[in-house]
Structure 1
Amino acid sequence: MGSQEEKIKVLKLWVSPYANRVLIALEELGVEYDTQEEDMDNKSPDLLEANPIYKTVPTIIHKGKPLPESLIILEYIHDTYSSFSTLVPTDPYEKAIARFWADFIDNKFWIAEYRIIVRQGEAQEIAKKEFIDSLFLLEEAIQKISGGKPYFGGDKFGYLDIVLVPYVFLWHSAEIFGEFRIPLESCPHLSAWIELVSKRESVVKILPSAEASHEWFTRSRKKALSTSN
């Protein structure tokens, strides 16, 4: 799809849920892309030039123009390639609701999950409670937004599915480090959704294994705890 010059280049980190959601979206749309793996302790000149403010992944370069931040990138991909498929809801209200829950997933749900992974003691216990509370809110949200259909957006795998699914594959680490079990038996809609999306071709292709991710986050946890002490 498109010439070599028009291919999207994705600056990424293999374990980053933010980067992986962008790759899943590109796979879903059948968009050709190239990737460049980044060492976040030794960031490339390409990343520093393309994203000089945050210096984070993912950052894409398309037709010579850079764009950072995964949720912004997802909307850009949708707007650029919407003639091939639809990821983001077209109804203004449904789009606004999707943006609300995407923000919740990133800034409440994932932050709590990440704190379970890199904290200990009281701070970790607080994070576990916030994570479980957020889990139940997501259970209610998927039931309401999907209208009883299999995906967050209804019949089709789309925006909120792509936003959330990379985090699910990191729950393994949260359970190990937090020494608790995520109560999915109390979340039948989320459980059914996880079973469905975990078999999706784009998800299987892009997301790393729980074991490989856990090795990476074990090192990240050690670094975070040594810095906080």
Structure 2
Amino acid sequence: MASKVVKKGVKLIGAWDSPFGKRVEWALKLKGIDYDYVEEDLPKKSPLLLQLNPVYKKVPVLVHHQKPIAESLIILQYIDDTWKHNPNFLPLDPHGRATARFWAQFSDDKVLRTTMTAMCSEGEKKEEAVKSVRTAMEYIEGELNKEGKKFFGGEDSIGYLDIAIGWISHWLPVWEEVGSMTILDPIKFPAITAWTANFTSHPVIKHSLPPHDKMLVSFHRLRKVLAPMFT
């Protein structure tokens, strides 16, 4: 099989069910940036992926003028810094920028990764992980309430943090179903529940969400692979 070639311009190496890759897709589409997309088969990592991201060997990778950038949160900032036309994802003031980056990293460390643990584990380990995720979600709920806006980015504008935690709106329900667990209680988390509806109703987001049923199959398969690591 001939290897894929990265041409000059903008190219995204991703995987259809990756919440990390989807962040970058959303950012590019919201900015109106034309790009070529290369779907990566993660169980069989391509020579292209290994060449572009030899350290972590994972998606997403953004290639701009033949220069690769890895790690989704870093890529989001690169996109915002490189294409400065509206919408701006990060706040203009340094404190606002730092705060958005803090909560994005927090959501990855304390919500996303711990939810994956809960999905793949059983018994006491699952209970502890679910409890930990709910506690972390309380902080995000409080931050969203403090903002008092439709999105973290503003009343009508999706911003950096919205994109970073956007996986909660579509991936979390799938992971809850696969892991037979409940994390996002709409009564306990009304602000996040409302934000989820607003986020997934945005035309750019709505038309780029992977099919729910296909995701269930994919993550049931992933759970079987990862479950032995969490026993």
| TM-score for the superposition, normalised by structure 1 | 0.92
TM-superposed deviation, 1:226: 4.2
Q: Which one-letter code corresponds to 1:164 in the other structure?
A: I
Q: Any idea what the Cα deviations from partners look like across 1:72-130, whole Å, max 9, x if unmatched?
A: 10000001111243111111000000010001011111111111221122211111001
Q: Which one-letter code corresponds to 2:118 in the other structure?
A: I
Question: Partner of 1:47 in structure 2?
Answer: 49
* 1:68-217 pair list within 5 angstroms: 68-144=70-146, 146=147, 148-155=148-155, 156-176=157-177, 177-180=179-182, 182-217=184-219
Question: Partner of 1:18 in structure 2?
Answer: 20
TM-superposed deviation, 1:153: 2.2
* Long gaps (5+) in structure 2: 1-5
Question: Partner of 1:224 in structure 2?
Answer: 226
On the 8 A contact 1:8/1:32 being kept in 2, the answer is: yes
The structure-2 alpha-carbon separation of the partners of 1:64 and 1:173, relative to structure 1 and needing over 3 Å to count, comes to same
Runs of 4+ in structure 1 over 4 Å off: 226-229
On the 8 A contact 2:61/2:68 being kept in 1, the answer is: yes
TM-superposed deviation, 1:135: 1.4
Q: Any idea what the Cα deviations from partners look like across 1:21-44, whole Å, max 9, x if unmatched?
A: 000000100000111111111111
TM-superposed deviation, 1:167: 3.0
On the 8 A contact 1:29/1:81 being kept in 2, the answer is: yes
Q: Which one-letter code corresponds to 1:53 in the other structure?
A: V
Query: 1:189 and 1:40 mapped to 2: Cα distance?
Result: 35
How many residues were matched structurally?
Answer: 224
The one of 2, 15, 32 equivalent to 1:30 is 32
Query: 1:190 and 1:9 mapped to 2: Cα distance?
Result: 32
Query: 1:181 and 1:76 mapped to 2: Cα distance?
Result: 32
Query: 1:134 and 1:212 mapped to 2: Cα distance?
Result: 28
| TM-score for the superposition, normalised by structure 2 | 0.91
On the 8 A contact 1:12/1:58 being kept in 2, the answer is: yes
Query: 2:199 and 2:41 mapped to 1: Cα distance?
Result: 29
TM-superposed deviation, 1:168: 2.5
On the 8 A contact 1:11/1:60 being kept in 2, the answer is: yes
The structure-2 alpha-carbon separation of the partners of 1:149 and 1:121, relative to structure 1 and needing over 3 Å to count, comes to same
When structure 1 is superposed on structure 2, of 204-213 and 10-19 the one drifting more is 204-213
Measured on the aligned residues, the alpha-carbon RMSD in Å equals 1.7
